[in-house]
Structure 1
Amino acid sequence: MANIGTVLKEEIARVARKQQRAELAQLKKSVAQYRSQIAQLKRRMEALERQVRKQARSAGRAAPAAQAEEDKPALRFSAKGLAAQRQRLGLSAAAVAKILGVSALSVYKWESGKTRPRPRQLEAIASLRKMGKRDAMARLAA
């Protein structure tokens, strides 16, 4: 009878080990998945932190410009409006460029709508709107 008891004990231990191995295999698989997910999330978090730092640096540079823009009234720009002003004054693109202190190519690109003028140049264009033909000719001569 002791022999049957030992055999039974050994069989129970074997079945228990087999059961444990099956459960451990599942646990190992899920742990491996969790570790890869954690590593992926860490990489994503680092990338997002880099983006935040980069945006904070660029926002720090843009902040003084934004404050300066808040003090001044908002200036609107339209390509057709600039072309109309130039024609109203009877000037060429090169002449307008000389008055504004930019290149003729810049004026051409603004009028064609390919680019937009910078805020400093918008102010010069706004002053162009207030200018008459005589004032424009005087500025060109000067």
Structure 2
Amino acid sequence: MPNIASILRAEISRVARKEVRAEIETHKKASVTHRASIAELRRQVSALEKELRRVAKGVARSTAASDSDAEAAGGTKRRFSATRLAAHRAKLRLSAASYGRMVGVSGQTIYHWEQGKARPRAAQLESLAAVRDLGAREVAERLATR
């Protein structure tokens, strides 16, 4: 006759393993989900750090360029506005190429400045300021002589 204590011990052990296995399964699923989200967050952090380095590099360049531009201008700092440039060119009724000849750059450069794809250097800002002070007649005379 089998020993009741050993049968009871075996049954308790089986039920305990079943309960532990069910509990471990839920933890495994949660662990897999957490690991996937951690991996995604790491990718996002990496991309953001890369973007931050790129932006910081651009800001460092622009501040260095503006500092050197301000020094080259003899301390007079000029501001630039793409919309004002476009409005002034429209007011004078000039093509980008003609306006560019007045400033000493190409028409394509004028388009890039107006679209905000590029910014003029200090010497070019001075040329823009000189053209901005001219009236339509003076601009027409200068273009006729060039």
TM-score scaled by length of structure 1: 0.68
Which residue does 2:89 correspond to in 1? 82
Which residue does 1:129 correspond to in 2? 132
Preserved CA contact (<8 Å) 1:75 1:122: yes
Deviations 1:88-117 (A, max 9, x none): xxxx8755443321335666x59xx96368
Preserved CA contact (<8 Å) 1:99 1:140: no
Cα distance in structure 1, aligned partners of 2:78 and 2:107: 27
Q: What's the RMSD between the two structures over aligned residues?
A: 3.6
Question: Is 1:51 equivalent to 2:56 in the alignment?
Answer: no
Q: Which moved more, 1:59-68 or 1:20-29?
A: 59-68
CA drift at 1:130: 2.5
Question: Is 1:72 equivalent to 2:77 in the alignment?
Answer: yes
Cα distance in structure 1, aligned partners of 2:78 and 2:43: 44
TM-score scaled by length of structure 2: 0.67
AA of the residue aligned to 2:128: I
AA of the residue aligned to 1:52: L
Preserved CA contact (<8 Å) 1:93 1:104: yes
CA drift at 1:19: 0.8
Preserved CA contact (<8 Å) 1:100 1:125: yes
